[in-house]
Amino acid sequence: MLFFLHPKEEGMAIRQKGPRLGDYFLGHRRTKTTFLDEINELIDWQPINAFLCKKIRRKANAVGNPAYPPLAMFKILLLQRWYNLSDPGVEQALLDRLSFVRFTGFSIEDDVPDETTICRFRNGLIRLKVLDSLLDMLNRQLEGQGLLVREGAVVDASVVESQRRPRKVIDVMPEDRSEDAEEQDGPVDCRVSYSDDEEAAWLRKRNRAYYGYKLHAATDSRDGFLLCGHITPANHSDTGEFERLVNGVGLDPGARVYADKGYCSGKNRDILFDRDLEDGTMDKTPRGGRLTDFEKTRNRDISSIRQIVERAFGTLKRGYAFFRSRYVGREKVEGEFHILAMAFNLKKAVRLARA
């Protein structure tokens, strides 16, 4: 097997033209193991390849040339997030960097996908709504290796600003996690600004106005792997998204779900009770009353565990630039999150595997 085709990826080639002379010599060149090589050793790509081939039935492009291998294209999307590359940037990197060629399985003499092809592939996965399934497949592999342990989950939400700047600022907007909106499940009413990102919405948080979306996500409570998540307009209440997150974390009965006081409601506690899950939601101070000493201590204990999801959000925003979306529209922003979550989890898994 030549160096550029990983043993776990046999049968993936569609457009590759077979071994070349340059590949032979480079295959005998001494190379240092990279982070990307560790990913290839950690993950069995065959199930991912089979899933992608089943979902993506197109075997030729618009001009009749053979389509690029879907697994190689999927790996390109991960490379973009790990190295913060645009579509033109990753196209150029595939021509220049041997580690990228080795990771994706292309030959050094193969044509590489251009930026338009990469963009269309990503949009195709979003239209097919398969990115959440791919995240779950990778997570199951990490779980099978003992790297991801679903002993509990932590849910939270974070604002992601729109890629577009609104052309009109409004002066009336909802306050994030208002005490008066305790049982509010749907979006809070507000005026919408003029913008071509029509699905984004306004939100005021800590005396600052945001125009964009809200990420609702859950991590495991031990190491902070991202288990699931989805995107809503920014003015959607966190409380109303709790059930969808609980359904997506895949916990066994008896596991505990942690959440801050923004999720504190009778309805959400019933959701946990009906699924035989332990309630780790922080208590909210009743209007006109006070928390008991027990409730204060309990809140502190939950808060110390909840910081793991806040660290994950911090990494997504600082390390992967997800403080603002790269694309326009809720579905594309959600697809962006799922790709980021896979990149985030794989990088964390490699670090844990080294330990």
Q: Which region holds residue 206: left if phi is over 0, alpha if psi is between -120 and 50, else beta?
A: left
Contact 126, 332 (CB under 8 A): yes
Q: Which amino acid is at 207?
A: N
Of 272 and 108, the one with more pLDDT: 272
Express each pLDDT in 55-74 by its tens digit: 987 666 555 678 899 999 99
Closest CA to 216 of 202, 236, 194, 195: 236
Mean pLDDT over each residue of the chain, to the nearest integer: 86
Overall size of the chain counted in residues: 355
Percent of the chain with pLDDT over 70: 81
Contact 159, 214 (CB under 8 A): yes
Express each pLDDT in 283-303 by its tens digit: 999 888 899 999 999 999 999
269: which 2 tokens?
A: 């506690």
Please state, as a whole number, how many other Cβ atoms lie within 10 Å of the Cβ of residue 218.
27
* Residue carrying the six token digits 């604002």: 159
pTM of this structure = 0.86
202: which 2 tokens?
A: 């306004």
Give the distance, in angstroms, between the CA of residue 345 and the centroid of all CA atoms in the same chain. Answer: 9
For range 152-181, the mean pLDDT = 74
Of 110 and 333, the one with more pLDDT: 333
Q: DSSP label at 236?
A: B
